[in-house]
Amino acid sequence: MPITTQGEQVAGVLESLAPDGTPLYPTVAILMPRRSTKTTSIWNVLLGRCYAHPGYKVVTTAQDGIRARNKFREVQRALDAFGFKERGLGKLYWGNGFEAIEWANGSRMWVVPPDAAAFRSEAADCMLFDEAGELDEATSEDLVAGALPLMDTRPMGQVIITGTPSPRRAALLWDTLQEGRDRKKRDVGIVDYSLRDDEPSVLYPDGEDSEPVLNEKLLYRVHPGIGTLTTIKKMRARFAKMTLVKFEAEYFCRFPTDHTVTAINPAKWDTARAEVLPVRPDRVGLAFDVAPDSSAAALVAAWRDEDGRAHIEVIGYRSGVAWLPGAGKAAAIKHRCAVAYDVIGANTNPADTMHRSRVQVTGYNIRHQQGAQQRFVDELDRENLTHYDQTDLNLAAEGANWRNVNEGGRLFGRKASASDVSPIVAAALALWQYDQVPDRQPMKIRTTATR
């Protein structure tokens, strides 16, 4: 199989060792465009390991059992054409569902469907998840929970996750790439040829209303196969026939933006950060929100200054819900205002408790919630919002993702998010509540003049 510069990069990441001789990156995600020898490079490494290290075991899968076997058989056919058996290297097994490559030195490779139970039948030194971008979220969760922990007991174990972007920014390939990009996990390595979100895949040389043209300068940077494995002429032809979203996924390795993307822009959130918490004004909007499992709750205040800039403060974020009615009542009395909440199941009991203690509460439905959350994001994007670097609010903003509702609508996803979004949900609703209530006018005292 041919060796390329990008292939050497793939091998370099896969073969990197820590000082103790174990893999520097026990988990590796590889994202490269079509026609850039991504799969060939990975298989070069794995075949080399099986040849060089007696008894080395590799189990591989793809997006489903049939396509996993088809991928595996491509490699088997290449080995068969090479004379694998005739040279005394081993045997090839072609049985439907029992495909395997067995070396004379005891090494073995076999293929299974993407099912965690299939990986438990026999221990392996390496797991290869090919076309992982095609795995849905449920399958990804199953594999992460059931298959990947099997590598914890193998000092030289390595998991390789590769593919091209899926239609959604979710599941195994996307999540692993994000871990590598964020550098939060030092044991996750990535080979990442992809277009950043702030880079345009097309240009409009004659103005925004003109026909877009391919940004070839960026394509050359992202696609290492142009000039060796494919040509720019072929790329232009593909661009002319494919939708932009499809072309970006296949050849720029950009995951499409959809309603599962991060709801809060990290750069804008950093820009909105202030360190010194001011004295809260008398007039604010108040709102609370409870996590769906009632494990925690948030009480948040929001207001605008004289320039119309929004300000957000978390009054309280604590585990459980028992503390919330008392805290809500104290805040409502102090600021002489109602407390807003989203009329979902987990919020109804604390709202009723507040109501029975003579606190005015205002419930908002899904339509209002959409408006509140869109306004919150708009204020942030316009750099017209300030928050005060509160940890709970930061974590909620960092983990918040969108979820689809009704026809084309969206809300902060409670299940789809990486952390509890209660503080950010309450913040958006508190600002909405503030904007719904007009300023309290100073009382005018009328006097009657007497002679």
Give me the DSSP letters along 287-306: EEEE-TTSSEEEEEEEEE-T
How far, in Å, CA of 25 to CA of 44, rounded? Answer: 18
Checking if the pLDDT of 355 tops 60, the result is yes
Domain boundary among 192, 215, 235: 192
Confidence of residue 445 (pLDDT cuts 50, 70, 90): very low
pLDDT in tens, 273-298: 998 999 999 999 999 999 988 999 99
Q: What is the mean pLDDT of residues 378-389?
A: 95
pLDDT at 96: 77
**Residue 276 lies inside a defined structural domain of this protein:** yes
Can you tell me which residue has the tokens 């965690």? Answer: 116
Checking if the pLDDT of 442 tops 70, the result is no
Whether residues 301 and 424 fall in one domain: yes
pLDDT at 240: 87
* 207 or 369, greater pLDDT: 369
Residue 336's CATH number: 3.30.420.240
Q: What percent of the chain clears pLDDT 90, i.e. is strictly above it?
A: 59
Who contacts 164 (Cβ-Cβ below 8 Å, separation ≥6)?
31, 33, 34, 131, 133, 249, 250, 253
Q: What is the mean pLDDT of residues 343-351?
A: 90
Domain boundary among 167, 192, 217: 192
How far, in Å, CA of 71 to CA of 363, rounded? Answer: 54
* 305 or 442, greater pLDDT: 305
**Residue 6, phi-psi category: left (phi > 0), alpha (psi -120 to 50), beta (remainder):** alpha
pLDDT at 224: 94
How far, in Å, CA of 445 to CA of 439, rounded? Answer: 18
**Residue 307 lies inside a defined structural domain of this protein:** yes
Confidence of residue 373 (pLDDT cuts 50, 70, 90): very high
The answer to which of 165-169, 310-314, 430-434 has the lowest mean pLDDT is 165-169
**Residue 451 lies inside a defined structural domain of this protein:** no
Whether residues 86 and 234 fall in one domain: no
pLDDT at 404: 66
**Residue 116 lies inside a defined structural domain of this protein:** yes
DSSP code of 163? E
Checking if the pLDDT of 307 tops 50, the result is yes
**Residue 444 lies inside a defined structural domain of this protein:** no
DSSP code of 147? T
How far, in Å, CA of 425 to CA of 36, rounded? Answer: 43
The answer to which of 124-138, 375-389, 424-438 has the lowest mean pLDDT is 124-138
Checking if the pLDDT of 369 tops 80, the result is yes
Structure tokens that stand for 319 in this block: 């585990």
Whether residues 78 and 179 fall in one domain: yes
Cα distance between the two ends of the chain: 110
Q: What is the mean pLDDT of residues 362-388?
A: 94
User: Judging by DSSP bridges, how do beta strands 310-319 and 296-304 pair with one another?
Assistant: antiparallel
Whether residues 60 and 169 fall in one domain: yes
pLDDT at 220: 96
pLDDT at 105: 97
pLDDT at 391: 93
Whether residues 165 and 91 fall in one domain: yes
For residue 142, CA distances in Å to 165, 179, 202, 273 come to 20, 18, 38, 38
Q: At what angle do helices 137-146 and 171-182 cross, to 10 degrees?
A: 70
pLDDT in tens, 54-66: 999 999 988 777 8
Whether residues 179 and 299 fall in one domain: no
Confidence of residue 447 (pLDDT cuts 50, 70, 90): very low
How far, in Å, CA of 4 to CA of 11, rounded? Answer: 10
Checking if the pLDDT of 134 tops 50, the result is yes
**Residue 212 lies inside a defined structural domain of this protein:** yes
Residues spanned by the domain of 214: 202-252
Residue 180's CATH number: 3.40.50.300
Whether residues 290 and 333 fall in one domain: yes
The answer to which of 168-177, 385-394, 433-442 has the lowest mean pLDDT is 433-442
pLDDT at 246: 84
pLDDT in tens, 11-61: 999 999 999 999 999 999 999 998 888 989 999 999 999 999 999 999 998
pLDDT in tens, 312-326: 999 999 999 999 999
Whether residues 299 and 340 fall in one domain: yes
Confidence of residue 270 (pLDDT cuts 50, 70, 90): very high
**Residue 92 lies inside a defined structural domain of this protein:** yes
Burial class (CB in 10 A: 0-12, 13-18, 19+), 266: exposed
Confidence of residue 328 (pLDDT cuts 50, 70, 90): very high
Whether residues 26 and 140 fall in one domain: yes
pLDDT at 148: 81
Whether residues 225 and 120 fall in one domain: no
Confidence of residue 420 (pLDDT cuts 50, 70, 90): confident
* 152 or 268, greater pLDDT: 268
Number of domains into which the chain is organized: 3
pLDDT at 210: 59
Helix and strand numbers (H, E) in the chain are 15, 18
Whether residues 246 and 362 fall in one domain: no
Q: What percent of the chain clears pLDDT 70, i.e. is strictly above it?
A: 92
Q: Is the pTM of this model over 0.85?
A: no
Q: Which of 316, 309, 307 is nearest to 274 (CA)?
A: 309
DSSP string, 242-286: S-HHHHIIIII-PPPP-TTSBSS-HHHHHHTB-SSPPPPPSS-EE
**Residue 133 lies inside a defined structural domain of this protein:** yes
Mean pLDDT computed over every residue of the chain: 88
Checking if the pLDDT of 163 tops 50, the result is yes
pLDDT at 125: 93
Whether residues 289 and 414 fall in one domain: yes
Question: Are the C-beta atoms of residues 224 and 36 closer than 8 Å to each other?
Answer: yes
Checking if the pLDDT of 260 tops 50, the result is no
The answer to which of 95-99, 105-109, 199-203, 354-358 has the lowest mean pLDDT is 95-99
pLDDT at 450: 45
Confidence of residue 451 (pLDDT cuts 50, 70, 90): very low
